[in-house]
Amino acid sequence: MITKTALLYLSRQESLREIVSNSRAFQKITRRFVAGENLDDALAAIRELNRKGITASFDHLGESIKDAQETASEVREYIRILARIDEHELKSNVSVKLTQLGLDISTELCLQNMRAILDEATRRGNFVRIDMEDSSHTQPTIDLFKTLRRQYENVGIVIQSYLYRSEEDVNDLLQMGARIRLCKGAYDEPATVAFPRKEDTDRNYIKLMKLLLKSGIYHGIATHDEKIIAETIRFASGEKIGKDQFEFQMLYGIRRDLQEKLVADGYNMRVYVPYGKHWYPYFMRRLAERPANLWFVLKNMFRG
């Protein structure tokens, strides 16, 4: 827990971000978890995933943008991504963070930017997933999603099982037919809003997973936890829920063996593929999530 808290603290330190982001050694190590710094890198990664029967979700890394012109640049990048998905006939959708699109500037700016992306996605028959960020953004994200969902069917949202509020949110969102990605959550949250113990987060995850699968809506079960995956498979089988009625989701570079096994077993698998120059916060959250990721980095740092 101390290591996780420390890594999440470091993920927010601007001075360290600059040092690490300019380190060639670290840039090389991050390629395990980040497809690269430019769109062509991500296209190549997704093409390889598709070859293995795995679908994807593009994520152009960026968050907490405070400049309106920067948000316009992000919109242009996502429109470019959607065009390239079509051009290369890739099986992929896109994921966005609302603070990347102006949520911390104004709700109206963020809505304007999201509508531009969703209009393009609609034109191209694609889907946009709104990522969930820290708990201070949970309600604004849900509110904005609801506004968009009344106009667009091709938009989904993420719910984090470590938040106490998530069961209520799931029940509320299912009433409007929301497509949900369920994950555990990767931010440093106080015990006033989130379960401090992993066992409780896992227990809540399983409860929410069952609500989602029984809803009859196509959802994403996003986890690398083999016990939760096994419980999902057992529950779906017992409820006669077909393998094509939901998908498992994982992060790029993590548990590739398990990704391929699930595909071989006939399950839908989608991998979240991040790329871009602003990889530091994302990378640090991945280290905080799983001790195996931190061990991978340390081992490669000291490898001759």
> Given this model, what pLDDT does residue 80 score?
99
Please state the domain extents for the chain.
35-278
How many whole angstroms separate alpha carbon 273 and alpha carbon 10?
Answer: 23
> Given this model, what pLDDT does residue 302 score?
42
> Given this model, what pLDDT does residue 15 score?
53
Active-site annotation, residues: 131, 181
Tell me which CATH code domain 35-278 carries. Answer: 3.20.20.220
For the cut 80, the answer to whether the pLDDT of residue 34 exceeds it is yes
For the cut 60, the answer to whether the pLDDT of residue 7 exceeds it is no
> Given this model, what pLDDT does residue 114 score?
99
223-267 pLDDT tens trace: 999 999 999 999 999 999 999 999 999 999 999 999 999 999 999
- Per DSSP (E only), the strands in the chain are 55-60, 92-96, 128-130, 155-160, 180-183, 219-222, 246-251, 268-275
Q: Whole-number mean pLDDT of the chain?
A: 91
24 or 232: whose pLDDT is higher? 232
> Given this model, what pLDDT does residue 288 score?
72
122-147 pLDDT tens trace: 999 999 999 999 999 999 999 999 99
pLDDT band at residue 300 under the 50/70/90 scheme: very low
Contact criterion met (CB below 8 Å) for 21 and 279: yes
How many whole angstroms separate alpha carbon 296 and alpha carbon 304?
Answer: 14
Closest-CA residue to 250 (of 179, 158, 183): 183
> Given this model, what pLDDT does residue 124 score?
99
- The pair of structure tokens assigned to 107 is 């709700």
How many percent of the chain have pLDDT more than 90? 77
For the cut 80, the answer to whether the pLDDT of residue 301 exceeds it is no
Among 9-13, 27-31, 39-43, 111-115, which is the least confidently predicted range?
A: 9-13
69-123 pLDDT tens trace: 999 999 999 999 999 999 999 999 999 999 999 999 999 999 999 999 999 999 9
9-21 pLDDT tens trace: 554 555 555 555 6
Mean pLDDT across 23-51: 88
Other Cβ atoms less than 10 A from the Cβ of 17: the count is 18
> Given this model, what pLDDT does residue 303 score?
42
Mean pLDDT across 213-231: 98
164 or 7: whose pLDDT is higher? 164
pLDDT band at residue 32 under the 50/70/90 scheme: confident
